[in-house]
């Protein structure tokens, strides 16, 4: 139980310094089970039974919801919930800019990614073994890229989101962070009920060439380097133009429209960030028929992507983000350096996956020239979460990118195991 106590100490000190903690929970007796004493945190949108979620807002927002079933599953397995992590308002901001700016443990002037911001930071900084999040347009994969850790977004509806805030129900998905895919493989059977079994035959990796060509040259190069490691491990690599621009456009329509309908009462709430209010108002302009048309196109586009980008037994690979992790001033509307195109690019390669409802995994792929981590995204067919984890485990057995200590917090944890 020494690791549990160590995480509690780090959470109380380092987690607070990084502005990544919303609540710290008092210690409870450790239950027996396959995850006995495993320390984890939950994004502050889940009903934990320990505190009222704030949903990233300035005051508690949630009504008295029943405790989320995923929390029950982890508790029954013996895992120890030690805190709630910070998030951006209403889980509707991809950079991680929140009421009190959370700090990226690699570089404090870089964005940490959002909206599951605190969850990614706390895992990267060693304040917990795992963290729960949600992903509507990239909200676990983007911060995983920015913070240099591993994150799984299961297929839509695979894990129930009862007891959690809704943003865009057609896109909302549970997500989970850990440092490595092997760590996630310990948790996945508990939260999903599915085993993670060794795959006898490696799938083929299909590199989405058009996504790589649309990325910054440095990002594409780093991710191609990670793909070459997969090839060295025995995977056959193919290339195709498979990124779905049409699915991406529909994803934006559904996100804007459904989020506005879920939170229309906040469009005129002065307590909510002005950019967020503007985003909600923009979604209210989208008609019901436009929303219905976007949703109706999904099945055909998903089938097309599976046929062209995945085939029978393949994994699609592309960068998590087409750009390097930006500095805060580039995504801060109050800054003279603000660039809305940068903000848009953060979820450029992630939101279409939510629209298609497919599982995806973000895995560290190396570092850019500034020393910031870069993430590779793996996309699979429905029900292939276990296979994605096995592919990532194989990659991480041959690399150490996921095990590096973030530079900005290295001195705080130097000398600790």
Q: What is the dihedral of CA 338, 344, 348, 354, to 10 degrees?
A: 130
User: Edge-to-edge strands of the sheet including 373-379?
Assistant: 21-24, 80-85, 39-43, 130-135, 173-178, 150-153, 360-367, 373-379, 314-319, 204-208, 237-240
Distance CA 164, CA 215 (A): 34
Distance CA 134, CA 142 (A): 11
Task: Give percent above pLDDT 90 in the chain.
Answer: 87
Mean pLDDT across 307-325? 91
Distance CA 32, CA 79 (A): 9
Q: pLDDT tens for residues 319-370?
A: 999 999 999 999 999 999 999 999 999 999 999 999 999 999 999 999 999 9
Q: List, in order of start, the domains of the chain with CATH numbers.
A: 2-245+295-413 (3.90.1300.10)
pLDDT band at 396 (very low <50, low <70, confident <90, very high): very high
pLDDT for residue 201? 81
pLDDT band at 302 (very low <50, low <70, confident <90, very high): very high
Give the tokens for residue 6.
């160590």
Angle CA 277–279–282, to nearest 5: 110
Task: Look at residues 297, 266, 296 and name the one whose alpha carbon lies nearest to residue 281.
Answer: 266
Mean pLDDT across 227-246? 94
Annotated catalytic residues are 43, 115, 139
The values of phi and psi at residue 322, to 5°, are -80, -5
pLDDT for residue 163? 94
DSSP 302: H
- Locate tokens 């002037």: which residue? 109
């Amino acid at each position: 139980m020494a690791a549990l106590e160590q995480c509690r100490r780090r959470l109380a000190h380092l987690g607070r310094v990084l502005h990544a903690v919303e609540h710290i929970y008092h210690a409870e007796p450790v239950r027996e089970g396959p995850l006995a004493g495993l320390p984890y945190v939950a994004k502050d949108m889940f009903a934990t039974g320990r505190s009222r979620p704030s949903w990233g807002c300035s005051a508690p927002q949630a009504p008295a919801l029943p405790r989320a079933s995923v929390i029950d599953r982890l508790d029954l397995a013996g895992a120890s919930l030690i805190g709630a992590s910070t998030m951006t308002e209403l889980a509707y901001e991809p950079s991680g800019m929140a009421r009190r700016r959370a700090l990226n443990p690699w570089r404090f002037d870089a964005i940490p990614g959002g909206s599951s911001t605190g969850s990614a930071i706390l895992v990267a900084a060693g304040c917990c073994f795992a963290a729960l999040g949600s992903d509507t347009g990239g909200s676990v994969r983007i911060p995983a890229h920015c913070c240099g850790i591993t994150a799984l977004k299961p297929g839509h509806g695979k894990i129930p989101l009862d007891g959690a805030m809704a943003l865009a129900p057609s896109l909302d998905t549970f997500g989970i962070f850990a440092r490595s895919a092997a760590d996630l493989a310990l948790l996945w059977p508990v939260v999903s009920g599915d085993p993670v079994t060794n795959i006898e035959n490696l799938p083929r990796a299909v590199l989405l060439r058009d996504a790589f060509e649309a990325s910054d040259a440095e990002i594409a190069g780093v991710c191609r380097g990670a793909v070459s490691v997969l090839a060295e491990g025995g995977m056959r690599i193919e290339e195709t133009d498979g990124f779905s621009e049409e699915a991406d456009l529909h994803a934006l329509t559904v996100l804007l429209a459904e989020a506005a309908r879920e939170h229309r009462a906040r469009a005129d709430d002065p307590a909510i960030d002005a950019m967020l209010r503007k985003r909600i108002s923009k979604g209210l302009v989208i008609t019901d028929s436009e929303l219905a048309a976007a949703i109706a196109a999904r099945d055909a586009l998903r089938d097309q992507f599976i046929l062209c980008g995945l085939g029978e037994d393949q994994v699609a690979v592309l960068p998590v983000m087409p750009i390097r992790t930006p500095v805060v001033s580039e995504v801060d509307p109050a800054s003279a350096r603000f660039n809305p195109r940068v903000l848009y690019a953060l979820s450029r390669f992630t939101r279409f996956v939510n629209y298609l409802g497919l599982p995806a995994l973000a895995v560290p792929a190396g570092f850019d020239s500034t020393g910031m981590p870069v993430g590779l995204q793996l996309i699979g067919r429905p029900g292939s979460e276990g296979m994605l984890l096995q592919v990532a485990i194989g990659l991480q057995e041959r690399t150490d990118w996921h095990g590096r200590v973030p530079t900005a917090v290295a001195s705080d944890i130097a000398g600790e195991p």
